[in-house]
Amino acid sequence: MSRKVCVVGLGLIGGSIALAIQREHDAFIIGVEVDENQLKLAESLKIIDQGTRSLAEGVCEADLIIFATPVTKTEELVESLKDEKLKPGVIITDVGSTKKKIFEKSQGFQKHDITFIGGHPMAGSHKTGVQAAKAHLFENAYYILTPAKDTPLKKVIQLQNWLKGTKAKFIEMTPDQHDKLVGVVSHFPHIVAAGLVHQVASMKEEEDMVETLAAGGFRDITRIASASPVMWRDILLHNKEPLLDLLEKWQVEMDKIHTFIKQGDKEEIYRFFERAKLFRDGLPSRKKGAIPSFYDLYVDVPDHPGVISDVTGLLATEGISITNIRIIETREDIMGVLRLTFRSDEDRERGKKCLQRELYETYVME
C-alpha cells in the first residue's frame, strides 16, 4: 500500500513539492485547499491524487503532512492539528519563510509520537498558482530544516528522504538562526526595495518625469517590491525583532554615508562603494539563494521588422522556454536591446549559445 502525503495549500510551492515527491516515491498525494478551483486544477494536472477542503479528512491517515500556506495561516493550522487524530509516527513540516513562531506553536507534538520539523525551501518563481508548479523548482536551492534539539536524527533523515525529489541542498539550523539570516538576505531587501519605490512615488507629485526615468533600471532593481503585500505584511510581523535590529543597523550605515557626502569626504565615499563591490562580486552567482534569481539574457537586435519573432523562434526550435521578454530600447536606425528571462541558469546558457550561433550579440549582467 502506498504511503500517504497530505499537502495543505495548493499553490506554486505546495504543488511543486507534491510533484517532487511523486517523482521519487510511490505515494498517494492528498491535497487540502479551500479554493475549489485550485483543488480541481491540481487534480486535473495530476499534481494530487485526491482533493478535499477538509483538513481533518486530509491529515487523518497521512505519513507526512506539509503546510504550504502563508505563515499566519500555518500557525493557526498547526495549532488546530493538536485536536485532530493523527497517525502515530507522522512527520509534520511547513515551508514558511519565518520559523520561530511556527516552531513555538508546534511544541507538544513529540509526546504523542508526532514530529514537527520546520522547513523553508529557498526557491520560488515569478509565477503563482498550482498551474505554475514544477518538480524541478527547488533543484540546487537551499532547503533549510529547523528541527528541535530533541528531534530524533532518524526523523530528520526520513524527512530528507521524503523530499529528495526536490534535488535541493539541505541545511539544518535553529529557528532563531534561520529568522536572523533570512531576515538580512531576503526580508530586509524587500523593505528597502519598497522604500525606494515610495521615494520615487512621492517625488512624482513635484516631478512628473521621474516616472519616465524610473521605467528602466530602477524598475529592474526594485522588482521584488511587486511581491504580495499580504504575504510581506505577515512576514514582517512574524520576524519583528530581527528586522527592527536590521533597520537600526541600516540607519547607522545611512548616517555614515550622509556624513561622508556632507563633508565631501571622497576617500570614505570611495571605500563605501569599494567594500560593497568587493563583497557583492564575491557572492556565488550560480547558486539559488533567499531571493528568487532572475536569469536574464540581454540581446542586441537591429531595428528590423520580425526580429523579435526571429529570436523567439530560434529558441523555440531548440526547445528553450522563456518566462518573460521585454524591449529595453528600440529606436529607429539604432540597435535595440531585448531582455529575455529564462527559468534557470542552464536554460539561459543554452539560449545564449543558440543565439550566438545565429550571430546575435548577447550578454549577461551579473
- Delineate the domains of the chain, giving CATH numbers in brackets: 3-173 (3.40.50.720), 178-281 (1.10.3660.10), 295-363 (3.30.70.260)
Q: Which residues pair with 350 in a beta bridge?
A: none
Using only the alpha carbons of the chain, give its radius of gyration.
23
In which order are the strands placed within the sheet that holds 115-121? 50-52, 27-32, 3-8, 64-67, 91-94, 115-121, 142-146, 169-172
Look up cell 522556454; give the residue.
321
Contact 348, 297 (CB under 8 A): yes
| pLDDT single digits (tens) 295-324 | 888 898 887 778 888 999 999 999 998 888
Residue 124 clears pLDDT 80, i.e. is over it: no
Look up cell 521615494; give the residue.
199
Task: Say what the pLDDT of residue 289 is.
Answer: 60
Task: Say what the pLDDT of residue 335 is.
Answer: 61
Task: Say what the pLDDT of residue 43 is.
Answer: 93
Average pLDDT over the chain reads 89
Average of per-residue pLDDT across 16-34: 95
| pLDDT single digits (tens) 35-83 | 999 999 999 999 999 999 999 999 999 999 999 999 999 999 999 998 8
Contact 301, 307 (CB under 8 A): yes
Binning pLDDT at 50, 70 and 90, where does residue 216 land? low
Task: Say what the pLDDT of residue 15 is.
Answer: 95
Distances in Å between the Cα of 227 and the Cα atoms of 76, 107, 126, 232, 288 are 23, 31, 9, 8, 18
Average of per-residue pLDDT across 222-238: 88
Residue 229 sits at φ, ψ, to 5 deg, of -60, -35
Single pTM value for the model = 0.77
